[in-house]
Amino acid sequence: MSSTAPEIYSPGLEGVIAGETAISTVTGGLRYRGYPIGELAEKTTFEEVAYLLLHGDLPRKAELEAFRHRVAAARSLSPTLISLLRSLPPATPAMDALRTSISVLAHYDPESQDNSHDANIRKVERLLGQIPVAIAEHFRAARGLPSVSPRSDLGQAANFLWMLRGSEPIPAHVRALDVSLILYAEHEFNASTFTARVICSTLADLHSAIVGATGALKGPLHGGANEKVMDVLLEIDSPDNVRPWLQKAFANKVRIMGFGHRVYKTGDVRARILKQYARQLATETGQTHFETMADEIEQIMEQEKNLMPNLDWPAGRLYHYMGLEIPLYTPIFVMSRVAGWSAHVVEQLDNNRLIRPRARYIGPELRPVAPLDQRG
């Protein structure tokens, strides 16, 4: 009797346990290092959550103040990168410009090739400060607008809105954006996080892992889904058009972005949290027709497809109500998720083993190679 274990194939690695992590879990509800996501969204700021992910626990007041100071101090780009961003074709996708920016940032980081735990933490804190600046710089450059200098007196969400617009951010917008950053910050072994862990498992540097994760997040089946949400709602245009539009989409087997999740089968708690903020801003901005449309779409999707909203569904609407342009949505995801990605890179490298799975071969059986003149 053969002792060889049977090969088990799980398409998309669904259900496969590919590693261990102490950073987050989706089992029994999303938790970051043991803290429920609902409590974090209600009681903390993004900076506190980023500190938690990177340092293992929520910060005390002095620790948070020092962390904020370090991140704010890193809010600058080299003149070379600024010049590059301003020389890119205006039509360059925002995610492509950001991916390039992160790669260039590595060249100016004095510890880019140091993979020690402490050096990686310092690099992450710098990236937390630099990435929002790069996003805002490219956004304004592509529209022929002058740069807006960052402010050290503002938190991550407020400073980002300030740099985009050059005007004092609206408090309700700051809080809504901050909550979205908390909700997007970490999500276990998703596609982009797993990409980052695979890359750094080769002992490549942290910036390389974050560049790779950014590339993975660009796809519409992952981070790019939040952009497609508003495409759908803008195309439907009116609550009266919801049902006929969906029936046509179902008939043509069009995937409705913002619904369904590989892990959450009964709904994404993050979507329920952020929906409250989207509804509030819709009311304040006179755009409640989008919420009416969203509610009906949710009902039909659950009844006919048994699919529930995921975080991207309210996030796309929330950013629209804030007046943010669609190409910014996935880069905002990056400025949040870099905290989670980096925590995973640090964790992987602290106890590293090269990630190298096997494939099930389905090609031709063994066959001989015929000389060129005998191949007919």
Same domain, 172 and 79: yes
Phi and psi at 224, nearest 5°, equal -70, -5
pLDDT digits (tens, 9 = 90+) for 187-244: 999 999 999 999 999 999 999 999 999 999 998 888 888 888 888 999 999 999 999 9
Asked whether residue 20 is assigned to any structural domain, the reply reads no
Same domain, 230 and 124: no
Asked whether residue 213 is assigned to any structural domain, the reply reads no
Asked whether residue 4 is assigned to any structural domain, the reply reads no
Same domain, 200 and 239: no
The Cα 276–Cα 289 span in angstroms is 15
- Least confident range of 7-16, 301-310, 327-336: 7-16
Same domain, 290 and 160: no
Give the mean pLDDT of 244-250. 94
Q: Is 128 left (phi over 0), alpha (psi -120 to 50) or beta?
A: alpha
Same domain, 90 and 165: yes
Q: What is the pLDDT of residue 8?
A: 78
Q: What is the Cα 165 distance to its own chain's centre?
A: 22
Residue 24 pairs in a beta bridge with 32
pLDDT digits (tens, 9 = 90+) for 123-163: 999 999 999 999 999 999 999 999 999 999 999 999 999 99
Confidence of residue 5 (pLDDT cuts 50, 70, 90): low
CA distances from 196 to 212, 334, 356 (A): 6, 13, 14
Same domain, 107 and 79: yes
Q: What is the pLDDT of residue 291?
A: 95
Q: Which residue has the tokens 């997040």?
A: 217
For the domain that residue 163 is a member of, what is the CATH number? 1.10.580.10
Domain count, the chain: 2
Give the mean pLDDT of 267-285. 94
Q: What is the pLDDT of residue 18?
A: 75
The Cα 175–Cα 157 span in angstroms is 8
CB 374 within 8 A of CB 84: no
CB 115 within 8 A of CB 349: yes
Same domain, 283 and 317: yes
Confidence of residue 9 (pLDDT cuts 50, 70, 90): confident
**35-36 vs 31-32, strand pairing mode:** antiparallel
Residues 6 or more apart whose CB falls under 8 angstroms from that of 63 comprise: 51, 55
Q: Which residues are catalytic?
A: 222, 261, 312
Quote the tokens at residue 227: 């952009």
pLDDT at position 2 over 60: no
Q: Which residue has the tokens 């982009």?
A: 192
Quote the tokens at residue 118: 């402490």
Residues 6 or more apart whose CB falls under 8 angstroms from that of 309 comprise: 258, 259, 267, 268, 271, 275, 298, 301
For the domain that residue 232 is a member of, what is the CATH number? 1.10.230.10
Domain with 245 in it: 225-321
Q: What is the pLDDT of residue 1?
A: 45
Rg of the Cα atoms in the chain: 22
Same domain, 179 and 119: yes
Asked whether residue 27 is assigned to any structural domain, the reply reads no
Asked whether residue 84 is assigned to any structural domain, the reply reads yes
Work out the mean pLDDT of the chain and round it to a whole number.
Answer: 93
Same domain, 60 and 191: yes
